[in-house]
Structure formats: structure tokens, C-alpha cells
Amino acid sequence: MKLFLMHHKKAFFIGTFIFIQALITFLPQSVYAGLSFNYQQTIPSKISGKVLDENGTPLPGANIIIEGLTQGVRSGSDGSYTISVEPGTYNLVVSFISYKTQKVSGIIVGAGQTSIQNIKMLPESATILNEVVVVGYGTQKKENLTGAVDQVTAKALENRPLPNLTLGLQGVLPNLNIRILDGKPNQAPTYNIRGTTSIGQGGSALILIDGVEGDPSLLNPNDVQTVTMLKDAAAASIYGARAVFGVVLITTKKSVSGKTSVTYSTNYASKAPVARPDFVTDGYLWSKMFAEAFVNGDGSFPQNINKTQKFSQAYLNEFKKRSESGAPYNQVEIDPVTGEYTYYGSTDFYKELYKNSNAAIEHNLSVSGSGEKTSFLVSGRVQKQDGLFRYNSDDYDMKNFRARGTVQIFPWLKIDNNADFSVMTYFNPLNVGEGGGIWRNIGDEGHPGSVMFNPDGTLSFSAAYTVGDFWYGKNGIATSRQVFRNTTGFTSNFFSNKLHVNGDFTFRNTNNNTEQKRVQVPYSTSLGVINYVGTTTNDLGIDRRETQYLANNLVADYEDKFNDKHYVKFMVGYNYEQSKYKRLAAQRNGLIFDDASDLNLALGQAITTGGGYEMWAIFGGFSRLNYSFKDRYLVEINGRYDGSSKFPSNQRFGFFPSFSAGWRVSKESFWKVKPSIISDLKIRASYGSLGNGNINSYAFQENFGISQSALILGGVRPQRTSQPAVLPNGITWETSTTTNLGIDLSMLSDKLTFTGDAYVRNTTDMFTVGLTAPAVFGATVPKGNYADLETRGWELTLNWKDKFNIKSKPFSYGIRLTLADNSSKITRYNNPDKLLSDYYEGQTIGEIWGYTTAGFFKDQADIDASAKQGPQMRASPTNIWYPGDIKLEDLNKDGFINIGTNRVSNPGDRKIIGNSAAHYIYGINLNADWNGFFFSTFFQGVGKQDWYPSTESEIFWGQYNRPYNNIPKWHVGNMWTPENTNAYFPRTMSRAASSNTNRTLGIAQTKYLQNVAFIRMKNLQIGYNLPKKWISKVKANNAKIYFSGENLWTYSPLYKLTTGIDVENTGPSDQVFNPGGNSGDGYNYPMLKSFSFGLNITF
């Protein structure tokens, strides 16, 4: 299967050789055919006839076109039509809304003759087999597919107020796994197909927009025609090494034929967080609990609440007195001696942080039409979403513009140009007090007992560290992303449309710019005295990144059918892409005034400059052969030579073949099952192997990165470099081999369709770090091809479509269910001792090792009689154990809680207690139409998933993390006390969950492992198509109004504990700022739910 290591020149010649063969064979004929078009012109010839419906009644208004000629007519009131043509052979295509498109091929029209073609149209049934599916460099009918391919149309995205396309695709296709990290509107998450890809190089799905790699988050969702997922190696291999883990093909809409139509749509949405943390805001209650947690966990009575507020027993006593006397909170008092403010507040910093709701509005306009030889489509969209933050609002704005047009230059040649321009801007406010996300800052310094403002209107110290910075409103990062892309292509056909040669050239410029400003924020702790936070970061930073990308494709295919039995299609092509990235960044401190926004006004000496450069190119030749016998036996062979600049020259090229086959059992003569029971049955199988080209540029070269030193040496902060990463000695490609078995089934007259696929994907020779070397090696162990991974999974799609009459009006409805699962296991890893600190053979990805919680210690006797928890565990600063502390089970009965030798064979008292990977991922789509009303809803969920809340997770651990963190309300009364021994949490104690080395809650254990399975109503739509008689008054053809809701309802077993945590947003802290961080679960921008109203009108 592996034919790598080919020298690149040889590969090139073999690739082109195939192509030359194909061309030479057909060249003379094509020249002849070309000539035959142009020089025979005498008496007009015609094709004419009638278009009839299934009952034989004339069908007026049907579209009749001749393939390759753009010119088309509509049938008249009696269903008749006539088209004048040159003598020749033609294919006629007739289409009418809600009828199947009919095609009549090979109509021979002699000079002066009229060919009569009466066309019978059949209504479009529930069948999806005739659906045309986009595949690599072409399309295919679903009935002929042999690879694992899934597709959704624009319908899945209609009427939804989506800030970006990716949000709309989440959950729509089974096993297309899009993990949205949080609710920020500018999220651009990666697309994963079918589970864990590689623990080495990694890699996600290749995303192609109209055939060219692109960023879906910058695409206008309204422009999308279809989204197709190529899941197995057979379907994806035509795209070579980057497609190793599947391909998502997004095609945009083409102009509609016929008269010009104008569509305008708009919607207005009101959004709000799906979940808000439900924290204690009563200042006294919080302070009391703070002191208790602090005494137990930090070992003394607190003198401060972290950095921003003073604390003492006297203060607490006074607060208690006020609380018990019912005196009003939110009081600020001034100490008569020191002049310092003392706060008896009850502040809800999250209320200060978020608006109650934020609005989003969208306008979309598209104009499309076609003339005799030209067609065009112009679309534009404006989408604005107000920020969620009450102050220093994080506004989001996206504009898209697309212009697309085609010109039929000759009957055999069409030129197409498709240009689009998108601009996205987002403002992310910053905190200068300590940097990082606002949520962590509130956790650290947003104490309920404090206030936002002092009586004189200045900010409190707590506020300046948190929401007050937003209120001051000057700090943040303005992000702007712009993409301009132009694709110019041609399509041509020869030999009566049997040979096609298509090509395109794309250039794309992407600008990814940020401007960051951090000025100091004033606050006051004493009357009349102003201090500042952020004095060290009084700066302006500008970062400009530009990527110039070129792509070029040239593809030829030939298709023919022999003896009405043998269908053959052969395709061959060439692909070249290059990408050049450059960066220029500068930062300087000392802004002359707070509102300065240009670097010229930064006067300080802390100057940082940065460059950046990356260039890669790939080059590939590919071909595909499809063969089918009597539409019964289907075979497809794909192959691609791929070369990539990212690999060293002796490993640059690889050949990636794949095979797939299908058997349409229902077409066999022995198949006697009635179509009304089973109308179609197809069994598919595929096998293919791909190299993993998802790798960083220059990964095989010794790179000395240069950065600025954090130290002052000789009066400056000089640049520095250090030892480069240790390079591996000889490596080879990672390979992923997928075997896929599938079944397509249509039943009950195509009302019920079922598609199922099961697969095994073996990722072998994964490029992973070697066996942990002794630390004296002194560097990260070089990677090598040390590991194998096996991913097994399956996905099912079940569709039901039917209609019946209610009050003599048709009621049609449909149900679509998708279910998918996958699980990955390490089958080889360079860890012979199976140390748990590393991957090991037999490990299931996502498994969680942890202790078994036996409960809480009851009393001293219980402590004395139980296994010794220390020194492995620690429950207090003094290492003394008290009743109410966590008791872990001594599984190995050695009298101590320990980690054994940290090996699978001796894990101490730990075992596998759960798995953090999502399993049984499902989607449920229901829709119905009646008398102009339409309804649809989409649910999405996960059947099985575990979550152990990470360290620094305030939303889960509250003061068990840090004493000054907020307290989730469900903690109150749920902590162990001598009177409440049945509580969920142990005795109150700070820092028990802030470290995962030896703190009792920071390490995974059974009691606090959460079931985060969930079901969420992603979308709900109710709408009405306005009656023709109303809208005809405004000369509209079509108009509808609707309500659409996103994320309206969720259920999860986690919600038995609290609904203050969004089950879909339990990931680590703000990944935009701390990519790769693995703590602070839930310190995140919330996911939003929305209610929207919209209008869609077509003229």
C-alpha cells in the first residue's frame, strides 16, 4: 500500500504521463468535433414537444434547457415548447419545481429536421438517492456512491441567526465533530471527522470552499449551497495528504437560470447566556464562608481578601452585626483614622459584567439571474452582534460580499469567476490588572463584599481589577480579519459532452490584524487618593499578519457507457497550492495619553518588535476511475501522488491509493422484494491509505527561535536564542488506513431511508515523542514514528418523510435521526513499562484514572483506623486530617493512599473511573409543513461523557479552589459540618482543588466525576409562507416570516447538581488567550441562546 520515498521528478513524470495518455487518445477527435460545430449552417433545425405531469396533463412553466448551450425556454400554457438549434447531438434537461429533473440524452437533430421530444415529469418523491452529492473534483449521484459521504443542503442553515457558519454546522452531520470552545462570536474551531486522528502530528479535516482550502468562519452562511463530508479514505484520497482525516466540501450557490430574482432576508435576534453562574452575592454570607475556608485551607485568619480588600475578625464581626440587624448593604464607609474605604457590599459582579440581553441583526441581499450566454449572482450580508459585556462592549461585525458570473464563450467553453470579500471585526476587552480573561479576574478579585464604585465615583480596587476596567473602557484587543478571494475557472466539454476539461486559478489574501491597548486604570482605596492598576503595561501593540495563497487545479474527465451496461468514468488532474505568511508586529509602552491609538504616541523604552514567515507549497497529480456494471456493481479507484514542502526532500512525495466498491443488491434479478417495502439496497465497502501531511513547516530543520529576553542585561532587554529542539534521526510519514463498510437502504416507497457506516481507522507510525528519557537528557525527547492508534466507530442516519392531508391540504413532515460513536485505542506506544505519566499500549483515549472516594472521615477513630492518606494527599496546611475530610479507598490494601509505581500494572489506589471523550453523539431533526406554515426543530446531544472539573475551576469548586473565589449557591449547605455529614462536599477548605498534585479535590476521584451527557435544543423554527395573493401586491414571488430560537433548552444529568454551569461550556479557561491551557474549566465566554424573528422575501 505504501509507495512512498519516490523521487519527486519521477513522481511528476508518472503523474503527467497518465495525463498525456488520456489527451493523446482523444485529441484528434476533439479537434474534429470542434470544427463540426462551426461550419454547417443551412435550414434551421428544432427540438420541440410537450411537458406533461405524471397524469399526462400539460405542465406550463417548466424549464427546458439544452446542456452546454445555456439557452433555455419555458413551456407554454399547453405545456409545449420549441427550441431552435444547429444540427447536432444534444442532451435536453427539463426541470420544474417539486418534480424530478428529467434528462434526455443523445438527441440527434439533422439539418432542417425537428426532433419531437415529449417529456413526462414525475413528482419528486422522498427519495434521496437521486440527490447529487458533491465529491472530490466533481459530483456523483448518491445512488452511485461507494465511499462514505454525507451531505446537507442549505436547508440546515436556513433562518438561523448565526454569527458564523461553523456554529450552524455543529451536530448536523453524524461524526462531524465540531468542538466549540466557548461562546465568543469569532470562534473558529477545528473540524474533526470520526474521532481522534493522531496523537502525534494531529490533524483535522481539510475544509475546501468551492474546491479551495478556506476558513468557514468567514463565509456567509446564506451563500452555502451544500456541505459535504468525505469520511473515509476512499472518498477523501483524491485530495492527498492533507485529507488524511477527511474532507469537508462547502459549495456556494450558483446563479439560478431564468429571470432575475432578488432575495432579501433579515432577522433580528435577542441573545443571552445559556447559563449564568449562580454565585452567592450576599456580602456577609460570602465573607463568613471565605474566612472559614481560609482558616482551614490557608492555616490562619485572613488579613486580606486576596490583593484588593482588607479583612479582619473585627470587619467580619461588624459585617455580621449589620447583616443581622437588617442594615442595608452596599455601604462604603471611610475609616476616620486612615481615610481608607471599608466596604459592606453585596455586589453581583456578573450582573455588572453582562447585559441582560444583547441584540444581533442581519441583512442579506442576493440578486441572481441569467441571460443567453451569461449568468450572475451577487450577494451581500451585514451581520452585527452587540457585545454581551455591559461595559466596553465586545461588538462583533461581519460583512460578506460575493460576485459570481459565468460567460458561455463557446458552446463547449464556459468561464466562471467567483470573487468574495469578507471582513470580520471583533473587540475583546482586556483586564490590565493581572491580564487574562475577565472570568478568572472576577474569581480572583470580584468579591461580593466589595463594590463597583466609591462614593466619590472612583472605582474600588476590586472593580479596577475586574469589571471596573471594562467600565473605564479603554483596554482591549481589536481584531480584524479580512479575506479577499478570487477564483477564475473554465469548464469545457468535448465529444458530445463525454470529455470535460475544467480548470481554475485562485488567489486569496487573508489579513489577520490585531491592535491591543492596555492603559492603566485608576482606582481609590482612600478618599482623595488615586492609584492605578496596569502601570506595567501602559502600551500599544499592533500585529499584522498576512497570508497570500495561490491554488491551481486542472482536471479532465471522460465518461461513457458501452452496451448500455458498462459505465466508465476516468478522471485525471493536477493541483498546486502555495501559501506565504508574513507577520509584522510592534509594541511600545508609554502612551502619551490614554486615548492615543497610534504607535507614534507611545514614548516608552519597552519596545518589542516581531517578524514571522512561513511558506509552504504542495503539488499533486491524481486520478480516479469509476466503473459500474448494469448500475449494479460499482467500483471506484482513486490515487494521488502528493508532494509537500513540509517534508524533507527525500520523503517529499507519497502515493496514496484507495479502493471502494458498491453492490446494489436491489438491482439484482433475484431481488423480489416489492419496492413498496424495500426500494433500494446498496452495500458499500472501501479501503484506503493516506499519509498525514498535517505538519508544521520546517519541522525537520534545526530552528533557532529568537525572542526578546525577559531580563535586563547591559541596560537593555536583548534578543536571545537557545538550543533548538532535538531532531529525530530518520522518520517517515504517519499513515492512516481506513476500512469502511456501509449500507444504504430505502424502504416503504422511499419514505424511510437509512444509511449506516462502520469503520476502522488505523493511524500508524504516529510521529510521537519517544519513550520518556531520563531527565538528564535535558530536552524534549525527539519525536519518531513510535505509535499506532486504532479508532473504531460508526454512524447512522435515519430519515422518514411522508405526507398526508389535513383538511384537504397536504401535511408533510420529516424526521432525521443521526447517531455516531467512536473510540480510540493506542495499539503501539514506546512505553514498555506502561508508565501512567505517558501514553501506553492498550490505553483508550480520554480515560480518566482516579481514586475511589470512600466518603468523609467521621471522627478521629475513623482517621486512625483508615489507610494513611498522607503524604500523597494533603487536606490542610498542617497535614493533619480532620473529620469531614475526604477519605479515599485504599484499593491495594497497603495501608497508604499512593500511586504505586505509577504503572498500569501497579497504579497504587487508582483505577480507570471514566472517560472524557464524547460518546453516542446524536442529532434529531423534526420538520413539518402545512398550508404555508412550517416548523422545524433540531436537537443535539451526547449520550455519554465524563468530566472531572479541573483545578482552578471556580464555577465548580468555588472556595475549595481559592478562598477568595465566588461560591456557587448550590455549595451553601452542601458542605460537611458535624451537623451535616451527608453533604456533597467535604468540610470547607480553600485550595483543596487548586492543585492536582496532592490536594484532595484536585485529583480525579469517583465522587466528583460528573456525567456531562446532554441533550440540547439547538434550533427551533416556526414560520409562515405568506399567501400568494397577499404578496403578489408587492410583486413578490415568495415571502415568509418566522421565529427561530437557538439553544433554547438543555438537559444534562449535571443539572441535578446545578444549572449554573453550561454543560457544553466546561472547557478550560479562555482558549483564545491561553491556547492549550488545561485548567480553569468554565472561565469562559458563555454560549448564547437567542430568540429571533425574521423575514425572507423573493422578487
Partner 1 sequence: MKLNYLYAVLMILGFAACQKLDQEPKSTANRSAVFGSEAGLQLYANSFYTMLPGNATTLDAMSDYLAVKSVPSFIQEGAFAPSLSSGWSWSELRNINYFLANCNNPAISLDARKHYTGLARFFRAYFYFEKVKRFGDVPWIGKPLDVSDSALYNGRDSRKLVMDSVLADIDYATANLRPNLDATRSTVTRDVAFALKSRICLFEGTFRKYHTQLNLQATAADWLNNAAAASKVLMDKGSYTINTAGGLGNSYRLVFTNPTPVATEVLLASICDLTLNVLNDANWWWTSGTYGAKASFTRTFINTYLNLDGSSFTSNPNYKTTLFKDEVKNRDLRLKQTIRSGNYKRISGGVQVAAPPLFSYTFTGYQPIKWTLDDMYYDAGALNINSIAMIRYAEVLLNYAEAKAELGTLTSAEWAATIGVLRARGGITAGLTTLPTVADPYLIANYFPDITSPVILEVRRERGIELCAEGLRFSDILRWKRGPLMEMEWNGFYVPSLNTPMDLNEDGVLDVAFYQGTRPTPAVAGVTYVDVSSTISGKVNSQKLKDGTSGELTWMNEISRKWNDKQYFYPIPQNDLLVNPKLGQNPGW
Site for partner 1 in 534-573 (CB under 8 A): 535-537, 539, 552, 554
**Could you write out the three-class secondary structure of 403-431?**
EEEEEEEECCEEEEEEEEEEEEEEEEECC
Q: What is the DSSP letter of 1061?
A: S
Counting residues that bind partner 1 (by CB under 8 A) gives 127
Which CB atom, from 993 or from 1072, has the smaller least distance to partner 1?
993
Enumerate residues 6+ apart whose C-beta is below 8 A from 998: 871, 872, 873, 874
Sites for partner 1 among residues 466-495 (CB under 8 A): 492
| Distance in angstroms (rounded) separating the CA atoms of residues 867 and 857 | 11
Nearest distance in Å: CB 332, partner 1: 18
Which CB atom, from 326 or from 778, has the smaller least distance to partner 1?
778
Nearest distance in Å: CB 610, partner 1: 9
The dihedrals phi and psi of 426, each to the nearest 5 degrees, come to -150, 140
Q: How far is CA 465 from CA 12, 283, 521, 527, 891, in A?
A: 61, 18, 9, 19, 46
Pick the piece of the chain touching partner 1 (CB under 8 A) from 137-145, 237-245, 401-409, 722-730: 722-730
Binding flag, residue 615, partner 1 (CB under 8 A):
yes
Sites for partner 1 among residues 44-83 (CB under 8 A): none
Q: What is the CA radius of gyration of the chain?
A: 33
What sign results for the dihedral spanned by CA atoms 82, 83, 89, 93?
Answer: negative
Which CB atom, from 43 or from 775, has the smaller least distance to partner 1?
775
Q: 781, 771 in Cβ contact below 8 A?
A: yes
Q: Which residue has the cell 473504531?
A: 792
Binding flag, residue 1021, partner 1 (CB under 8 A):
no
Nearest distance in Å: CB 356, partner 1: 33
Find the binder of partner 1 among 258, 405, 503, 675 (CB under 8 A). 503
Which CB atom, from 66 or from 316, has the smaller least distance to partner 1?
316
Q: How far is CA 1078 from CA 407, 953, 1047, in A?
A: 53, 10, 26
* Dihedral class, residue 106 (left if φ above 0, else alpha if ψ from -120 to 50, else beta): left
Binding flag, residue 645, partner 1 (CB under 8 A):
yes
Nearest distance in Å: CB 292, partner 1: 9
Which CB atom, from 318 or from 802, has the smaller least distance to partner 1?
318
Pick the piece of the chain touching partner 1 (CB under 8 A) from 77-85, 108-116, 646-654, 1022-1030: 646-654
Q: 616, 645 in Cβ contact below 8 A?
A: yes
Residues facing residue 1023 across a β-bridge? 934, 1042
Nearest distance in Å: CB 699, partner 1: 10
Sites for partner 1 among residues 447-466 (CB under 8 A): 461
Binding flag, residue 39, partner 1 (CB under 8 A):
no
Which CB atom, from 302 or from 968, has the smaller least distance to partner 1?
302
Enumerate residues 6+ apart whose C-beta is below 8 A from 985: 960, 971, 974, 975, 976
Binding flag, residue 1037, partner 1 (CB under 8 A):
no
Nearest distance in Å: CB 1053, partner 1: 34
Q: 737, 1 in Cβ contact below 8 A?
A: yes
Nearest distance in Å: CB 748, partner 1: 49
Q: 1009, 848 in Cβ contact below 8 A?
A: yes
| Distance in angstroms (rounded) separating the CA atoms of residues 418 and 405 | 7
| Distance in angstroms (rounded) separating the CA atoms of residues 774 and 771 | 9
Find the binder of partner 1 among 8, 667, 792, 825 (CB under 8 A). 8
Omega before 871 within 30 of 0, i.e. cis: yes
Sites for partner 1 among residues 938-967 (CB under 8 A): 963-964
| Distance in angstroms (rounded) separating the CA atoms of residues 386 and 391 | 11
Using DSSP's 3-state secondary structure scheme, residue 526 falls into: strand
Pick the piece of the chain touching partner 1 (CB under 8 A) from 208-216, 718-726, 856-864, 1089-1097: 718-726
Find the binder of partner 1 among 17, 613, 629, 920 (CB under 8 A). 613
Q: 787, 829 in Cβ contact below 8 A?
A: yes
Find the binder of partner 1 among 258, 814, 870, 1077 (CB under 8 A). 870
How do 45-52 and 80-85 pair as beta strands? antiparallel
Q: How far is CA 653 from CA 137, 693, 732, in A?
A: 21, 10, 11
Q: Which residue has the cell 457585545?
A: 387
Nearest distance in Å: CB 734, partner 1: 19
Which CB atom, from 378 or from 615, has the smaller least distance to partner 1?
615
Sites for partner 1 among residues 335-394 (CB under 8 A): 337-338
Distance, first Cα to last Cα, the chain: 56
Which CB atom, from 63 or from 506, has the smaller least distance to partner 1?
506
Q: Which residue has the cell 448564547?
A: 1088
Binding flag, residue 617, partner 1 (CB under 8 A):
yes
Sites for partner 1 among residues 583-602 (CB under 8 A): 583, 589-590
Find the binder of partner 1 among 326, 457, 611, 1076 (CB under 8 A). 611
Find the binder of partner 1 among 3, 23, 741, 1015 (CB under 8 A). 23
Which CB atom, from 330 or from 338, has the smaller least distance to partner 1?
338
Find the binder of partner 1 among 82, 225, 701, 1032 (CB under 8 A). 701
Which CB atom, from 307 or from 390, has the smaller least distance to partner 1?
307
Sites for partner 1 among residues 875-894 (CB under 8 A): 877-880, 882
Binding flag, residue 666, partner 1 (CB under 8 A):
no
Enumerate residues 6+ apart whose C-beta is below 8 A from 233: 244, 658, 686, 687, 688, 689, 690, 736, 737, 738, 740
Which CB atom, from 523 or from 794, has the smaller least distance to partner 1?
523
Binding flag, residue 1078, partner 1 (CB under 8 A):
no
User: x-or-dash pattern for partner 1, window 891-930, by CB under 8 A?
Assistant: -------xx-xx----------------------------
Binding flag, residue 435, partner 1 (CB under 8 A):
no
Nearest distance in Å: CB 498, partner 1: 14
Sites for partner 1 among residues 392-431 (CB under 8 A): none
Instruction: Compute how many other C-beta atoms are within 10 angstroms of the C-beta atom of residue 21.
Output: 11
In total, the chain counts a number of residues equal to 1099
Find the binder of partner 1 among 4, 576, 930, 970 (CB under 8 A). 576
Sites for partner 1 among residues 808-837 (CB under 8 A): 833, 835, 837
Find the binder of partner 1 among 86, 213, 348, 614 (CB under 8 A). 614
Which CB atom, from 702 or from 864, has the smaller least distance to partner 1?
702
Nearest distance in Å: CB 22, partner 1: 10
Sites for partner 1 among residues 270-329 (CB under 8 A): 295, 298-300, 302-304, 306-308, 310, 312-314
Using DSSP's 3-state secondary structure scheme, residue 400 falls into: strand
Find the binder of partner 1 among 36, 84, 609, 709 (CB under 8 A). 709
Angle, vertex CA 442, rays to CA 438 and CA 444, nearest 5 = 115
Binding flag, residue 1032, partner 1 (CB under 8 A):
no
User: x-or-dash pattern for partner 1, window 761-780, by CB under 8 A?
Assistant: ---------x-xxxxxxxx-
User: What angle do helix axes 313-325 and 283-298 make, rounded to 10 degrees?
Assistant: 150
Q: 88, 102 in Cβ contact below 8 A?
A: no
Q: Which residue has the cell 443542503?
A: 153
Q: 314, 287 in Cβ contact below 8 A?
A: no
DSSP output for 347-387: --HHHHHB-S-EEEEEEEEEEEEE-SSEEEEEEEEEEEE--
Nearest distance in Å: CB 549, partner 1: 13
Nearest distance in Å: CB 255, partner 1: 26
In terms of C-beta density within 10 A (0-12 exposed, 13-18 middle, 19 or more buried), how is residue 54 classed? exposed
